[in-house]
Amino acid sequence: MILYQLRCAGGHEFEAWFRDAATYDEQVGARGVSCPFCGGKKITKAPMAPRLAKGASRSEAVAERANEVATHIFQAAAKLRQHIEENCDFVGEKFAEEARRIHYGETEAHGIYGTATDDEASDLTDEGIEFSQVKWFPRRND
């Protein structure tokens, strides 16, 4: 596996893992890689500084990098949660019912969040009602 620092035409930088350099070339050439920020598909490698762990074993360096990535993921999830909580109405266990009311024009369209069972989510999908499922992580105090 190889990790590349990538850049889209919009100037956003992000990291992505590839099996090898040939896989990177193949996926980028087929426009199979997109920017997670803007969706742009014109992707190039960004300059990278090598990560050299002085005095640390390779496994320690890998563990440190894994912690960095996990921290970024938790931070992004926390920002998403905050945005949803600040901009949408919490409807609790009535999510499926309220989503239907919005979809069928019985109430004004607005952002909602709450909970739904797997069966309720499946029924919403079958009815053509668009929604997203987000797994909430427990809140962290750091």
pLDDT at 54: 57
More confident residue, 142 or 99: 99
* Mean pLDDT of all residues in 54-83: 80
Is the CA virtual torsion 113, 118, 123, 128 positive or negative?
Answer: positive
Q: 79 with 28, same domain?
A: no
Q: 40 with 79, same domain?
A: no
**Residue 123 resides in a domain:** yes
Q: What is the pLDDT of residues 15-27, one digit of tens each?
A: 999 888 899 999 9
Q: What is the pLDDT of residues 45-64, one digit of tens each?
A: 988 765 554 555 677 877 88
Q: Which domain holds residue 121?
A: 73-142
Q: 88 with 141, same domain?
A: yes
Return the closest-CA partner of residue 136 out of 69, 67, 68, 84: 84
Contact in structure between 7 and 38 (CB atoms under 8 Å): no
Angle at 81 between CA 79 and CA 85, to 5 degrees: 120
Q: How does residue 141 score in pLDDT terms, banded at 50, 70 and 90?
A: low
